[in-house]
């Protein structure tokens, strides 16, 4: 198509600086999509894991037996299971000590759960900062490439006696591709960051609720052991 816009040809004909900008934006875009798909998988697994574990937890299963099931496979425990494992492990350890106050036992179990919850939050939020940075700076990086490309296009007209739009248009078109690439990199990153941040908040809320409910169960168990 002779009358169409050959974007690839325009990009290849751009100045060195604009090509560098385009390469950076392309790298941002590729990395963003890799993170988007990986993070989608991680968050979906976290939600499903929470559903499955809570179903077992509230089915009336013995806590000690559930603890053995969680720790049996030897794999790294993640999600809500890691919070349960940390809390019950600390509860069982402190309960074995003689004359241990029930409140002290409960506080120890809660500390263990909070540490595990903090680790899980860090895992779920990993790389979200990169998406936020790509979404915020990519348009400006693209704009920088556009400004540089337009400057090169106009500087090229310095030695021309009669400038026409046909002489300027290719250089400006090349430059504007950088702006388009900046938006292409930024829009998915911003969308994914907002969506995944909300999902992380919902998962964290479920973890908070579980910690409170499990703490109540452990508190009753600690008082029963005392009596």
The pLDDT tens digits of the residues spanning 74-118 come to 678 889 999 999 999 999 888 887 777 888 888 999 999 999 999
Q: Is the pTM of this model over 0.85?
A: no
Domain ranges of the chain: 7-226
The fraction of the chain above a pLDDT of 90, given in percent, is: 50
Quick: pLDDT tens for 8-32. 666 666 678 888 888 999 999 999 9
What pLDDT does 207 receive?
94
**Confidence (pLDDT) at 168:** 63
pLDDT at 120: 94
Q: Measure CA of the first residue to CA of the last residue in the chain; give whole Å.
A: 87
- pLDDT, residue 2, reads 47
pLDDT at position 148, please?
81
Mean pLDDT calculated for residue range 112-125:
94
Q: pLDDT tens for residues 146-181?
A: 888 777 777 766 666 665 666 666 667 777 888 889
Those residues with Cβ within 8 angstroms of residue 192's Cβ, 6 or more apart along the chain or in another chain:
32, 35, 36, 39, 131
Average pLDDT over residues 119-148: 92
pLDDT, residue 1, reads 40
**Mean pLDDT computed over every residue of the chain:** 85
């Amino acid at each position: 198509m002779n009358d169409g816009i050959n974007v690839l040809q325009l990009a290849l004909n751009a100045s060195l600086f604009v090509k560098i900008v385009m390469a950076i934006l392309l790298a941002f875009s590729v990395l963003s999509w890799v993170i988007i798909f990986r993070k989608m998988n991680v968050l979906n697994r976290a939600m499903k894991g929470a559903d499955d574990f809570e179903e077992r937890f509230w089915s009336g299963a013995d806590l000690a037996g559930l603890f053995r099931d969680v720790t049996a496979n030897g794999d790294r425990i993640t999600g809500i299971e890691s919070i349960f494992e940390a809390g019950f492990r600390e509860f069982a350890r402190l309960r074995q000590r003689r004359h241990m106050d029930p409140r002290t036992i409960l506080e120890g179990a809660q500390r263990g759960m909070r540490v595990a919850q903090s680790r899980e939050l860090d895992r779920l939020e990993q790389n979200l900062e990169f998406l936020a940075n790509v979404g915020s700076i990519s348009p400006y990086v693209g704009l920088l490439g556009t400004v540089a490309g337009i400057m090169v296009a106009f500087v090229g007209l310095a030695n021309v006696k009669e400038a026409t739009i046909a002489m300027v248009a290719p250089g400006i078109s090349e430059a504007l591709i950088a702006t388009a690439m900046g938006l292409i990199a930024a829009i998915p990153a911003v969308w994914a960051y907002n969506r995944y941040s909300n999902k992380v908040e919902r998962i964290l809320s479920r973890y908070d609720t579980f910690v409170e409910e499990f703490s109540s169960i452990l508190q009753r168990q600690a008082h029963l052991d005392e009596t």
